[in-house]
Amino acid sequence: MFRLVMATLASLILASSIAAQTLRVRLEALPATTLPAIPVTLRMSFTSDGGTVRMPNGVSLVVTPADGSRSVLLFAGHTVAAISAKQRVGKRPVVIDFPTDGTFGEPGWFYGYFPPGIYDLQLYAGDYLSVLYEDVGPPLNSIVEQARAVSNVVTLTVAEPTGADAEIWKAMKAFTGTAGNFWLSGFRGTAGAALVQRAVRDYPDAAYTGWLATAGTEGDERYLLLREWLDGHPDDPYYENRMLRVAELETNLAIAYRRINPARSQWNEKVAREVLAKLRNARSAEIRERARDRLRRLDESHDR
């Protein structure tokens, strides 16, 4: 009898310990209201109710629009597994972001999916088998069944553009056609450049303008429009990301023109170094590191 009682107590203590160490995940969409094609950051905060537990090796974002249908929009295996490898989580949150960088292309989970409407987002975290694939995961029923943690429901509102944004949105759709590939299109060519210039000059404070100015700047002089827009919007929430883009373009031009146009190269390098010097004190550790890397690249380019 004594052994039975002790075994029962041990089982209860073990069960209590396991229950007290449940993995939890909290989901945030930042911001929770946006416009079509403008992505938001997805933030996941993992904790445990008690002692430390293993991090999951994958997460799936399940989206429910107003019609009640459910679909898996994102399966992230590589991303989460790389961050959480051999990591355990306790009461102190482990935070993983799928951030937007001020371009239409990041994060990729947002791209091309959300027309105006209201969407419920919920995250399922578990040890899924398909971690070899970044965007292709198990079917929805397996995701639900195998989840170690299920997040709160976040409501994402994609508002209908109004005013100047409605004008720009109409022009954006006309430029890209039915595919609506705003990231890959880059708004290149004469028509694309005219659209970006019109937005920067005529609608500088519209929500879409900063995103347009950041699109398609590589390899041409349109990055000057981005610089012009940033000069008038120092409080832009993606200011540092977008200034890094300017610095990267100036760095590329400085190196490209070094032999064929030394004067132009010196001017581009001067601008790049000025911007990168400021970004070494950026709020984001990633941007600080990328700024230092670009400065090293400029220094090393003189030794070639």
pLDDT digits (tens, 9 = 90+) for 100-151: 889 888 887 776 678 899 999 999 988 765 444 444 556 788 888 888 899 9
Taking only the tens place, the pLDDT of each residue in 150-200 is 999 999 999 999 999 999 999 988 887 755 567 666 787 888 888 999 999
Q: Residue 237: pLDDT band by 50, 70, 90 thresholds?
A: very high
Q: Yes or no: say if 42 and 59 are a contact pair by the CB < 8 Å rule.
A: no
C-alpha–C-alpha distance, residues 253 and 260, integer Å? 11
Beta bridge partners of 97: 43
Counting the structural domains of the chain, the total is 2
Q: Yes or no: say if 145 and 157 are a contact pair by the CB < 8 Å rule.
A: no
Find the domain containing 46 and state its range: 22-158
Domain-ending residue, one of 158, 183, 208: 158
The CATH number given to whatever domain includes residue 38 is 2.60.40
The predicted structure's pLDDT at residue 155: 97
Listed in sequence order, the residues at least 6 apart from 291 whose beta carbon sits closer than 8 Å to its beta carbon are: 244, 247, 276, 279, 280, 282
Q: Would the pLDDT of 16 be above 70?
A: no
Q: Yes or no: say if 150 and 22 are a contact pair by the CB < 8 Å rule.
A: no
Mutual angle of helices 189-202 and 163-176, in 10-degree steps: 170
Whether 268 and 179 map to the same domain: the answer is yes
Residue 122 belongs to some domain of the structure = yes
Give the amino acid at 279. L
**pTM, rounded to two decimals:** 0.81
Give the amino acid at 48. S
Mutual angle of helices 223-231 and 239-256, in 10-degree steps: 140
Whether 46 and 65 map to the same domain: the answer is yes
Whether 153 and 192 map to the same domain: the answer is no
Whether 172 and 296 map to the same domain: the answer is yes
